[in-house]
Chain A
Amino acid sequence: QVQLVQSGAEVKKPGASVKVSCKASGYTFNSYSMHWVRQAPGQRLEWMGWSNAGNGNTKYSQKFQGRVSITRDTSASTAYMELSSLRSEDTAVYYCARVLTVVLTATLGYWGQGTLVTVSS
């Protein structure tokens, strides 16, 4: 079955960077795109960007453009999301989410367990 296992919680200082990993299993990693979504405490889900398995491209939310980088290591079946220049407002749970099918590339069918990133001085 499809499983996405994310790296553990992180505590970072303002201005630092964080890199969250998402190890996939149970399917052909190369065939399915991966999105990243975050949720600040008590807030709605917020889309950050995605890695398109079809053409290898990435696309980011304008809000995070210049601060976020989404990459994939196909040999390790692992996706990564790196966020730089962290500020307190970036404190949130970060999720990776695989698309439901190769066609439904904006439907988030499978989710990782989430990684809490706390930004505090």
Chain B
Amino acid sequence: DIQMTQSPSSLSASVGDRVTITCRASQTISRYLNWYQQKPGKAPKLLIYDASSLQSGAPPRFSGSGSGTDFTLTISSLQPEDSATYYCQQSYSPLTFGGGTKVEIK
């Protein structure tokens, strides 16, 4: 199985800050990488698919990049409603997820 490693596991940033989360795959996955946002007690919500495609309805301050084994999710200007845990997921079977990055607002 492909292992997904996210860093950091948590971060605290101020409103308006630029935030970057990284995700590393244990083997190359081309651009088959998705990002989800999960708020407490809620189901995950797709933000970015195929490494860099913004899901319909997701705010444009979210962007994704990378290919191969290294990927990033960037929030260009952090907003209070972005407080959540973010997960990456690779698309080769079996699907696997990263451990999550909890984003808190200072």
Number of B interface residues, CB 8 Å? 22
* Residue A45 at the chain B interface, CB threshold 8 Å: yes
Query: Size class of A's contact patch?
Result: 10 to 19
* Residue A95 at the chain B interface, CB threshold 8 Å: yes
A111: which B residues are within 8 A, CB to CB?
A: 43-45
Stretch of B18-26, B74-82, B86-94 on the interface side: B86-94
Q: Considering the complex, give the chain B residue whose CB is closest to the CB of A61.
A: B94
- CB < 8 Å neighbour of B89 from A45, A61, A104: A45
Taking the closest CB of chain A, its distance from the CB of B28, in whole angstroms, is 16
Q: Considering the complex, give the chain B residue whose CB is closest to the CB of A4.
A: B43
Q: A44-B100, A45-B87, A113-B43 are in contact. Are A107 and B49 (CB under 8 A)?
A: yes
Hey, what's the 0/1 contact readout for A46-85 against B, CB within 8 Å counting as 1?
Answer: 1100000000000101100000000000000000000000
A69-121 with Cβ < 8 A to chain B: 95, 100, 104, 106-109, 111-114
**Interface on A for B, CB 8 Å cutoff?**
35, 44-47, 59, 61-62, 95, 100, 104, 106-109, 111-114
